[in-house]
Amino acid sequence: MPGGGHCPDCGSTELVEDSHYSQSQLVCSDCGCVVTEGVLTTTFSDEGNLREVTYSRSTGENDQVSRSQQRGLRRVRDLCRVLQLPSTFEDTAVAYYQQAYRHSGIRAARLQKKEVLVGCCVLITCRQHNWPLTMGTVCALLYADLDVFSGTYMQIVKLLGLDVPSLCLADLVKTYCSSFRLFQASPSVPPKYVEDKEKMLSRTLQLVELADETWLVTGRHPLPVITAATFLAWQSLQPSHRLTCSLARFCKLANVDLPYPASSRLQELLSVLLRMAERLAWLQVLKLDKRSVVKHIGDLLQHRHTLVRKAFRDGTAEMEAGEKELRERCQGPEQGKEEVASSSLDLPEGKRPASPTPLLPPCMLKPPKRICPPPPVSTVTGDENISDSEIEQYLRTPQEIKDFEKAQAARQAARSVSNPP
């Protein structure tokens, strides 16, 4: 800075002119000491050029941010920090919260809803950056009810017209699996139960992909499928020592909550694996069940694409696939390689199991709970005559009215006796 200016504190010559609110000051850029405060009084001609500074501008706040909104914005930042999100996420989530607050319906909402809105903004930000945060986690952190969260979430997505991508399954598998406390021995985890993280992750991912392909994921909560897949992956990596461990015990020693549908997902996944095993020549002879199939999960996953194609049929595609195969066979030896490989896995014609089961979601495979008869065709016009007798069946007789009134009075009396005023 030219001129003979020295900082009285540190002696530096690096003085800068900084205008603090509407007053200009000379500040040392090294130690921050305020050297001069500028002119407090002005001449008459200077005053004509000055502009009035409003209170809200002089305090540095651009908008009139209500206390409620300020609290909400603080909560958004707190939540981002608790979740250890990157700093850019914080700014996006805060922006969404401010955007939401511009709507009168949100400004006038109950505190419970505003609290849940904090979670919604953070969740939307995470989804848009493919950060696998589940609604369950957010609700647990906010001590919020999922129903309340759900309503506010759907409302805010519609209100702000946002495009929120789906939860990324592969990323969720990675973060969720990493949270299982199984990668080091501890007092609760015996050495035979300790597993290599990468091996477990890779196998879990393959099992989740298999579940997705065989309709076990669509329409269902994603987490229980991953819990079941993690359990099977872990068991199959050392079946001799781990087959005796149940799903519940596994979750307990891994220090992870067991979601209720996980047992059902586990059974469904085992059924799929059993169907695939029926198509593998050296497993067919072993007559596997849901326990023993776990030992062969490695093999089944290795050939999963071929096995799924063979074990399940798709109703409409079946005929087309059959025709395509015939045409390909006529084409020549190029197809031979894949066919040889697949036929070596397969049994000779005579010993193949019964026709493959259809590849359908479990809800379509279960028999319907009750058969609804088709409703009879209605010939009602709406203008029919209404008979008096039909209406009178809905009216009380004078005697009934008297009885009802007596009963009501008696109940009233009984109430006043038991609750004296």
Partner 1 sequence: PGTTPLYPSPMTPMTPITPATPASESSGIVPQLQNIVSTVNLGCKLDLKTIALRARNAEYNPKRFAAVIMRIREPRTTALIFSSGKMVCTGAKSEEQSRLAARKYARVVQKLGFPAKFLDFKIQNMVGSCDVKFPIRLEGLVLTHQQFSSYEPELFPGLIYRMIKPRIVLLIFVSGKVVLTGAKVRAEIYEAFENIYPILK
Interface with partner 1, residue 50, by CB under 8 A: no
Interface with partner 1, residue 400, by CB under 8 A: yes
Residues 155-214 touching partner 1, rule: CB under 8 A, are 157, 163, 166-167
Interface with partner 1, residue 224, by CB under 8 A: no
Q: What is the rounded distance in angstroms from the CA atom of residue 334 to the CA atom of residue 183?
A: 46
Sign, CA torsion 284/290/291/294: positive
Amino acid letter, 71: R
Non-local (6+) Cβ contacts of 224 within 8 A are 259, 260, 261, 262, 264, 265
Interface with partner 1, residue 373, by CB under 8 A: no
Segment near partner 1 (CB under 8 A), from 32-40, 54-62, 305-313, 360-368? 360-368
Residues 126-165 touching partner 1, rule: CB under 8 A, are 134-136, 146, 150, 153-154, 157, 163
CB of 205 to partner 1, least distance (A): 17
CB of 24 to partner 1, least distance (A): 52
Interface with partner 1, residue 392, by CB under 8 A: yes
Task: Select the residue interacting with partner 1 from 113, 220, 265, 310 (CB under 8 A).
Answer: 220
- # binding residues, partner 1 (CB under 8 A): 42
Name which of 117, 247, 221 is nearest 167 in CA terms.
221
Interface with partner 1, residue 102, by CB under 8 A: no
CB of 268 to partner 1, least distance (A): 13
Segment near partner 1 (CB under 8 A), from 252-260, 302-310, 322-330, 375-383? 375-383
Segment near partner 1 (CB under 8 A), from 15-23, 180-188, 197-205, 388-396? 388-396
Nearer to partner 1, 330 or 386 (CB): 386
Q: What is the rounded distance in angstroms from the CA atom of residue 253 to the CA atom of residue 179?
A: 12
Alpha helices (H) in 286-383, listed in sequence order: 297-302, 304-311, 315-331, 336-345, 362-365
Non-local (6+) Cβ contacts of 217 within 8 A are 169, 208, 211, 225
Interface with partner 1, residue 370, by CB under 8 A: no
Asked whether the beta carbons of 126 and 169 are under 8 A apart, the reply is no
DSSP 38: -
Q: What is the DSSP string of 206-251?
A: HHHHHHHHTTSSTTS-HHHHHHHHHHHHHHHHSHHHHTT--HHHHH
Q: Which positions lie near partner 1, rule CB under 8 A?
A: 134-136, 146, 150, 153-154, 157, 163, 166-167, 215, 218-222, 315-316, 360-361, 363-364, 375, 378, 380-384, 386, 390-396, 400-401, 404-405
